[in-house]
Structure 1
Amino acid sequence: MPKGTNQKFKLYRLAQIMQENTDDSHYMTMPEIMVELKKYGITAERKSIYSDLKDLEQMGIEVQGEKTGKYYQYHVVNRPFELAELKLLVDAIQSSKFITERKSNALIKKIEKMVSKYEAMTLQRQVYVSGRIKTMNESIYYTVDAIHNAISENRKIKFQYFQWTEKKEMKLRHGGKYYHISPWGLSWEGQNYYLVGYDSEAEKIKHYRVDKMLHIQVSEEKREGEQHFQQLDMADYAKKSFGMYGGKEQLVKLKIRDTLVGVMIDRFGKDVMIIPEDKGHFIVPVCVYVSRQFLGWVFSLGDSIEILSPPQVVEQMKEESERLFRQYH
């Protein structure tokens, strides 16, 4: 028998039809498949479509047929991602403060194409679960990409940095002067993305909110500060930093109630030392970058925690307590 019409794109359209219209709960019969192909101006015999369904496996699309009554029903199985996994990705994108609302929606639309139209509806419902505040910097995608490129090419970056004014307008810091930084890593802390880099002029490690960086350029200059990062574990560094604010790294001894054991493990990981002190109390020695943010974290835990040493950190806590007392009295 002669071939049907518009055969050139038949396999492509068949893959599209099966992926969009079938999943573990939704099937198509051969007559239904033929009707959908006809919408694209493609006519084909059953025998050729059976063969094409097998050929889809060569494209990584596995189609399974199950007999129900007189007919076989076909559906796509073993997709690259399970629906539950994609829901996690959607939720992570939606809850990421550093991705704008528009970019979040665009990413999620792309993820929806990885499942059937029926499963895509469940992902759409997932989108509206949380109305979190999102960044307004649309260039963050390209900023992150430029940072990764600079790191892989061992080059510095130049960028402008802004802050929000009381009029809700962007104001460039340092009068619009470009920052010239050696990038060494990216860290996600407190729902924000941070560049961790070396400032040669200040001769120290600094952090910058990626969503507040503008007009980034990869410099021709080689990176500096390697000696500061050779022994630096970025995950460990982020754990010791509170709110990605700098400070002097110190071994701080904390006394906590037993109710805070979980808090310590959540913050510092399972390797944190928790030493019994007396009934209901433990001693927890931790290395942290002591800053006002660290002291604020201790404050937030109330009378269930106490800084025991070193003396200078205890004194900082006293001064901070007195400052707050004066401010509110």
Structure 2
Amino acid sequence: MPKSSGQKLKLLYLRDILLKRTDDNHGMTATEIIDALSEFNIKSERKSLYDDISSLQMYGLDIEKIKSNTTRYYVASRDFELAELKLLVDAIQSSKFITRKKSMELIGKIEGLVSNFQGKELKRDVFITNRVKGLNEKIYYVVDTLQTAISNDRKVSFLYMKWDIGQGANIVKTARRDGKRYVISPIWLCWDDENYYMIGYDSEADKIKNYRVDKIESVEILEDKREPNDEIQKFDGAEYTRKIFSMYGGEEFEVTMLVNNELVGVIADRFGDDIFIVKENDNQFRFSAKISISSQFYAWVFGLGGGVKILSPQRVVEGFKEHLNSVNNNYSADNNDN
């Protein structure tokens, strides 16, 4: 008698049942498995069930059994450990650039990698209070397009958006440069300070620039190949991100700083633990690093209080003083209308 279509799919249904309804803490007896198969109109007997379980084990599914009053079968290991998936879920939920809607979609897909019981553990609500989630649902397709362009050595064209104050004092998104499209040779995608950035070469400006991916819209891959220059060929992503503060690039300087010893961890986190330091005295050390100077760099120094002092070059020292004076002037008595 020919097998029904359901019987032909018996092994696949059995695999799904074991993956979704069992784990280290939840097993199923042969009777329970036979009942579960019947939900899909598939008949099974104990002997054939044991043969099917053996076939799945030979295929590579890690099925174990516990013997007590009854014998229970369960999937003992999977491609991802539960702790690894929890880490992914937490990263998704706390990420600013991933929208709430897309966060739940991604988490739902991750839940499919574990049993129903373990999936409940992944639904922990860890959305960070006051964390602004992204609004641009198209960002995932933008990222995919940029990655494709990089892989195929092609330029991209896109609109680069900004926030403006519209009529009625509401905030609106508008295209920069009056809607003129940017044409860039994409080099790298990176994550910095809770934002996704595309690092690319701007041939008009003859320099490497940073672009927030969530502000890129209407991206297209062009037929033109990327610029064949040394900037792209010699680009070192790790070195670039180490010297750029908050992805706002500026003129690059070799900066020497004097630092209190207790801040050595902060310096290692920012510049790497292989940075060369020189003992200045029992309480301080100094080091030098190539840094793209911007207001974000000055804010970083200011945030460390008196624990960090810029020693050279003098141009950067003066720039920091001007930055401090500008902030101070905002709070001077003459400018305080309140």
Q: Do these two structures clear the TM 0.5 threshold for a shared fold by scoring above it?
A: yes
Aligned counterpart, 1:324: 327
* Aligned pairs, number: 327
Displacement of 1:108 after TM fit? 0.8
% same residue: 46
**Cα distance in 1, alignment partners of residues 53 and 283 from structure 2:** 66
Name stretches of at least 5 consecutive residues in structure 2 with no aligned partner: 333-338
Amino acid at match of 1:163: K
Task: Output the amino acid matched with 1:241.
Answer: I
Matches of 2:146 and 2:25 in 1, distance apart? 43
Structure 2: how far apart are the matches of 1:273 and 1:104? 41
- Secondary structure at the counterpart of residue 6 of structure 1: helix
Name the structure 2 match of 1:107: 106
Q: Structure 1: state its 5+ residue gaps.
A: none
Which of 241, 262, 267 lines up with 1:264 in the alignment? 267
CA 1:168–1:61: 2 relative to 1, 3 Å: farther
Displacement after TM superposition at 1:59 (Å): 4.5
Which residue in the other structure is 1:148 paired with?
147
2:249 is the alignment partner of 1:249: no
Q: Tell me which amino acid in the other structure corresponds to 2:185.
A: S
**1:138-177 to 2 correspondence within 5 Å?**
138-166=137-165, 167-177=170-180
Q: Does 1:61 align with 2:64?
A: no
Residue identity matched to 1:150: A
The one-letter amino acid paired with 1:63 is I
1:74 aligns with 2:77: no
**Hey, what's the Cα distance between the residues in 2 that align with 1:271 and 1:170?**
42
Q: Indicate the SS of the match to 1:169.
A: strand
| Distance in 2, Cα, partners of 1:225 & 1:301 | 41
1:213 is matched with 216
In the aligned structure 2, how far is the partner of 1:285 from the partner of 1:146? 38
RMSD: 1.7
Task: Supply the distance in 2 between the matched residues of 1:161 and 1:309 (Cα, whole angstroms).
Answer: 36
Question: How do 1:1-329 and structure 2 match up within 5 A?
Answer: 6-69=6-69, 71-125=70-124, 127-131=125-129, 132-166=131-165, 167-224=170-227, 226-329=229-332
SS of 2:108's equivalent in the other structure is: helix
Query: How much has 1:165 moved relative to structure 2?
Result: 2.4
Task: Work out the CA distance in 2 between the residues paired with 1:129 and 1:31.
Answer: 41
Q: What is the identity, as a one-letter code, of the residue corresponding to 2:65?
A: G
Give the residue type in structure 1 aligned to 2:231: H
| 1:231-279 Cα distance to aligned partner (Å, 9 max, x none) | 2210110111001111122111111111111100111111112211112
Q: Secondary structure at the match of 1:220?
A: strand
CA distance in 1: counterparts of 2:76 and 2:229, whole angstroms: 49
The amino acid that maps onto 2:312 is: S
| Residues in 2 aligned to 1:277 and 1:75: alpha-carbon distance in whole angstroms | 62
